[in-house]
Structure 1
């Protein structure tokens, strides 16, 4: 575990240095600068001069917000603290999605439970096809403090990060017939409930509620899509997250990625059900 913590610090420094001199993320900004309410207005509260937002859910309603603009590439994410206690079947999400008939989507879904650890489920939709779930057990208690959850999306790969550690990679393999997300997408965050999120199919323990999730770090590093539908004009090299440093994991990131998967992977669609070749045949294992 000590080695693992050292690696986290090292990767954090490496990632910041890679971005330095290209673009510096703004400090915390008011929520209203980049987002609007999606649903559940009476279940939303703004904190710390509007730089933090609380989403809540009870037996009557959940809540959510979305970005004002649509994006075609970027390095997206927030700091999130999840609901404590018995959060069985409560789902807190952060994701990108388009609104075409056959949509693209990139998901973080935090599946509540009666006891730790939380399960973090990731998924990706391309051209309307999903069913690519992977789940990891978080190695910390995400209800005690804020943690960073981010997605890198460029023309070469989609990478999910937890506190700067890569936990999943989806490579661009259009050359062998695998669809890649190329639709412009909005950023959305929600809290809601579904029985499938509980291993036993239980409904939430509403006596434990209302359940509250908190979001900080509301600045956006992304390319705004001009026509709100097509992402590819945002794949240019003028954006730092499209540079060749971000085309694949570097050796340190790959080592950390494989370490996370060996210790905390709970489910991978690539090893369950029908054969998903060729998209699962990769050094990154899906």
Structure 2
């Protein structure tokens, strides 16, 4: 019997010798360079789903912990794809850096809750809310406008969160800028949701200026540890032994761009409209769905050829991921399992349709669930 490639999941390279490999059974890949239709409703019909929901909500200044509140608006998430699916370089259809634009506006809204001043911002959340352990990656070009926070994070609640946050006010302008690596925990909740003075907060200098090009930001989360990366190189590692505060429940993947005017964090609001641009998100994870876990175990847990029916997730591509980079063929191209049917059988995917004028991503039917979930050897979610 011939089995599909990746039948039992996707593996990542070792992060240290005590964790020789990690295997994840589900994926969510989104190619924003070639996404031409984005449903603009939080309540997205399955036939229109692209894996993400654009958010709309208001947070008062008190809730947002700043002199300004947050006003997440659908209009602040804007598609700017490349003009052709054949292209992996060039400007977006609206000009400038191609991909998904997430805006923070300079004009504040004076009509927020109870007359509050609100900063208008953008946010997207994954439709999958069953992510428990995984390798999560995003290609981003940060804003060069001072006074915003760009955040890529996994979220369960305010005391279970894994976060990479870039504060544009911290940009050095000298070819290297810091990024904030945050694990929100019960300890940070006890400190009024401020992780800065806890053991799970680090500021790490990046060997590049994030606003001058696209780079990949990543974190790998297993029961043993959480490791943060930039362009495929480890930045920081946290062992999951910090007073039982490590996240261990399912959650969702989120990305937002915001400002509250808090001088100790986002700064701002920005003096002009500020844009964060995404080229892709790639998530390889285990599902908390008990049925999916059971079916995976039945098909894969006792396989002697497990290595032969899993696929290794490519590391950061050698040619880079920047569609605006010159001197390289297809400089924005990176690997997607979803573009090869043999590599994503029975996965929930949102494949790009052909054509350049309208692209509607439609999830595949789950023909069976015979193998699709939860690795039970090293990453048993219990």
Aligned equivalents of 2:167 and 2:277: distance in 1? 15
Residues 1:192 and 2:258 aligned together: yes
| Alignment partner of 1:139 out of 196, 199, 207 | 207
| Alignment partner of 1:73 out of 113, 133, 146 | 133
Which structure's CA Rg is the greater one?
2
For the structure 1 residues 22 and 88, does the alpha-carbon distance in structure 2 shift closer, same or farther, using more than 3 Å as the test? closer
For the structure 1 residues 197 and 153, does the alpha-carbon distance in structure 2 shift closer, same or farther, using more than 3 Å as the test? farther
Contact 1:91 1:197 in 2 (8 A): no
Higher alpha-carbon deviation: 212-221 or 145-154:
212-221
Residues 1:122 and 2:181 aligned together: yes
Aligned equivalents of 1:22 and 1:225: distance in 2? 12
Q: Which residue of 2 aligns with 1:203?
A: 268
Aligned equivalents of 1:181 and 1:154: distance in 2? 10
Secondary structure of 1:106's counterpart equals: strand
For the structure 1 residues 20 and 96, does the alpha-carbon distance in structure 2 shift closer, same or farther, using more than 3 Å as the test? closer
Tell me the CA shift for residue 142 of structure 1.
1.1
Unaligned runs of 5+ in 1: 1-12, 246-286
Contact 1:34 1:219 in 2 (8 A): no
Residues 1:41 and 2:74 aligned together: yes
Tell me the CA shift for residue 137 of structure 1.
2.5
Tell me the CA shift for residue 166 of structure 1.
1.0
Contact 2:133 2:285 in 1 (8 A): yes
For the structure 1 residues 157 and 88, does the alpha-carbon distance in structure 2 shift closer, same or farther, using more than 3 Å as the test? same
For the structure 1 residues 127 and 196, does the alpha-carbon distance in structure 2 shift closer, same or farther, using more than 3 Å as the test? same
For the structure 1 residues 156 and 88, does the alpha-carbon distance in structure 2 shift closer, same or farther, using more than 3 Å as the test? same
Higher alpha-carbon deviation: 144-153 or 26-35:
26-35
Aligned equivalents of 2:289 and 2:159: distance in 1? 18
Tell me the CA shift for residue 115 of structure 1.
4.5
Residues 1:90 and 2:148 aligned together: yes
Q: Which residue of 2 aligns with 1:220?
A: 283
Q: Deviations over 1:203-249 (max 9, x none)?
A: 3342xx2100011222321223227xxxx99xx99699xx9x9xxxx
Aligned equivalents of 1:173 and 1:205: distance in 2? 39
Q: Which residue of 2 aligns with 1:3?
A: none
For the structure 1 residues 222 and 33, does the alpha-carbon distance in structure 2 shift closer, same or farther, using more than 3 Å as the test? farther
Secondary structure of 1:64's counterpart equals: strand
Contact 2:25 2:286 in 1 (8 A): no
Secondary structure of 2:75's counterpart equals: helix
Higher helix share: 1
Aligned equivalents of 2:142 and 2:215: distance in 1? 9
Higher alpha-carbon deviation: 158-167 or 21-30:
21-30
Tell me the CA shift for residue 74 of structure 1.
0.8
Counting matched residue pairs gives: 214
TM-score under structure 1 normalisation? 0.62
TM-score under structure 2 normalisation? 0.48
Aligned equivalents of 2:281 and 2:78: distance in 1? 15
Aligned equivalents of 2:247 and 2:26: distance in 1? 26
Secondary structure of 2:55's counterpart equals: strand
| Alignment partner of 2:246 out of 180, 183, 198 | 180
Aligned equivalents of 2:24 and 2:251: distance in 1? 24
Q: Which residue of 1 aligns with 2:231?
A: 163
For the structure 1 residues 139 and 194, does the alpha-carbon distance in structure 2 shift closer, same or farther, using more than 3 Å as the test? farther
Contact 1:34 1:220 in 2 (8 A): no
| Alignment partner of 1:110 out of 166, 175, 194 | 166
